[in-house]
Structure 1
Amino acid sequence: MSIRVTVWGENVHEQKNRIVAGLYPDGMHSTIATALNRDPGVTATTATLQEPDHGLTPERLAATDVLVWWGHAAHGDVQDAVVDRVCDAVWSGMGAIFLHSAHFAKPFKRLMGSPCNLTWREAGERERLWLTSRNHPIAAGLPDSFELEHEEMYGEPFGVPEPMETVFVSWFQGGEVFRSGLTYKRGAGNVFYFRPGHETYPTYHDSNVQRVILNAVKWAHNPATRIANPNAAPNVPVEVAPEPITERGPRLHQAGEEGFR
């Protein structure tokens, strides 16, 4: 059975910016989903902010093994009820991948429990990504480093919790460095943050970036049965108290008794 992926896109820049529309005429979400669908083990579909429930109904999330999220200009427009639904799905076992400006997405900030803030500069600089965990599954098939000719700079400090592993770090032409590929475990769900992907650059057409996202989908997939209600335990009452223990265990020898050692 293939991994079921939903690629969620804000789909705002594509409607308002001619440069973005030229690079991604069907939306960044469609470009990412098309690349994922080249792998026979993945079935990727898309959802956008503009759909009812932002395309993330309970039924849709129940049928999603891994959610890929890209957002930037409209984080505040995402309904809190949908945020709750997404986080519950992750805690239950759905994988989640947050791309680029999704560091400020409501679900990511909720899952991290931190400000998720950083420094940034949009100057079309070269970015070089270095592998820092060579044998990690997300790094499979990648060179030790690869470059993106033009990208937005993100710089440290990055206000997120310490990750399980840092898979990539980035160097930018202006001299800054950034932790660009971070893994987390939230409940039963695997979470990956990947930095590249500014909308005015062709980042999601890059074969190495596509490989990272595909690898991350396979890493984030949890084949185990979802936890039915991740918020139910352990905060539940115990209705019947156990029977009290009335029998004593073996009596300890007192000093001076026969057999005492």
Structure 2
Amino acid sequence: MRILIWNENRHEQKNQKVREIYPKGIHGAICDFLTEAGHEVVTATLDEENHGLSDNLLNQTDVLIWWGHLAHDEVKDEWVDKIQQRVLQGMGLLILHSAHFSKIFKRLMGTSCDLKWREADDRERLWVIDPTHPITSGLGSYIELEKEEMYGEHFDIPTPDELLFVSWFEGGEVFRSGATYKRGRGKVFYFRPGHETYPTYYNDEIQTVIKNAVTWLKLTDTHQPSYGNHASIEKISKKD
């Protein structure tokens, strides 16, 4: 499993609180537990040359994890195009938290992906909607987070292929927090938790979801469909 974790990495530079919670960056925290799980993991950030991306790196990536917030518009469209093409070819894509507003997620969804939000230390309870799905394996009925940023409906996304989590927040809102999609040969999973000022990615159950997700997202069907003009399989008899 070859995983690429892409993180905007701006909050870590601007906010001391975020640096204290994630001294290695959000990408570093996720990298640590995925590496410990036995995966081959590399990281990339926005301010690196070409956003830390290359054609060779994308072509070798089984699953791309994406976290962004402050600078979605700074991601160059040429890389959005290339990531979209790789997803259509079969690369898995895990979109985390505020990356719901990233160019690549909006491109793949074809909608605004807008929502309500509030940062007020809400307690969050993520209810498991499909306990039989591989991504929810090993979980109980719900995951409870003491403090998180609230995201509320309406969430402007297409109807998910599968809805895995619905969140309830202490302030009363609910939210579709775990949704899967197929795009071309690739699979996409949106997972809501992960605001930068909370230690969410150190939570064992959140880590379980992410570890399950990367395994599910990896392409296992090696058949490549063919398109365009195609010779007949059977002999076509000529008609008078």
Q: What TM-score do the two structures reach when normalised by structure 1?
A: 0.87
Match of 1:134 in 2: 131
Separation in 1 of the partners of 2:194 and 2:49?
Answer: 26
Separation in 2 of the partners of 1:58 and 1:224?
Answer: 22
Q: Give structure 1 stretches of 5+ with no counterpart.
A: 249-261
Question: CA offsets per residue over residues 47-89 of structure 1, 9 Å max, x none?
Answer: 1111111112110001100000000000000000000010000
Shift of 1:38: 1.4
Shift of 1:140: 0.5
Separation in 2 of the partners of 1:244 and 1:153?
Answer: 61
Shift of 1:146: 1.6
Separation in 1 of the partners of 2:143 and 2:46?
Answer: 32
Shift of 1:225: 4.3
Match of 1:38 in 2: 36
> What one-letter code is carried by the residue in structure 2 that aligns with 1:106?
K
Match of 2:57 in 1: 60
> What one-letter code is carried by the residue in structure 2 that aligns with 1:74?
A
Structure 1 residue runs of 4 or more that deviate by more than 2 Å after TM superposition: 223-227, 243-248
Q: Does the Cα contact within 8 Å between 1:93 and 1:226 map onto a contact in 2? A: no
Shift of 1:176: 0.4
What secondary structure does 2:85 align onto?
Answer: helix
Given candidates 149, 154, 169, the residue that maps to 2:151 is 154
Given candidates 25, 28, 50, the residue that maps to 1:27 is 25
Shift of 1:37: 1.1
Q: Does the Cα contact within 8 Å between 1:92 and 1:226 map onto a contact in 2? A: no
Match of 1:191 in 2: 188
Shift of 1:96: 0.3
Q: Give structure 2 stretches of 5+ with no counterpart.
A: none
Question: CA offsets per residue over residues 107-145 of structure 1, 9 Å max, x none?
Answer: 000000111010001111110111000100000011111
Q: Report percent identity of matched pairs.
A: 54
Separation in 2 of the partners of 1:47 and 1:246?
Answer: 58
Q: Does 1:247 align with 2:239?
A: yes
Cα 1:244–1:212 shift into 2, 3 Å: closer
Question: Max radius of gyration: which structure?
Answer: 1
Pairing 1:197-212 to 2, within 5 Å after superposition: 197-212=194-209
Shift of 1:237: 6.6
Match of 1:12 in 2: 10
Q: What TM-score do the two structures reach when normalised by structure 2?
A: 0.94
Separation in 2 of the partners of 1:88 and 1:46?
Answer: 20
Q: Does 1:69 align with 2:88?
A: no
Question: CA offsets per residue over residues 4-41 of structure 1, 9 Å max, x none?
Answer: 1001000000000000000001100010011111112x
What secondary structure does 2:36 align onto?
Answer: coil
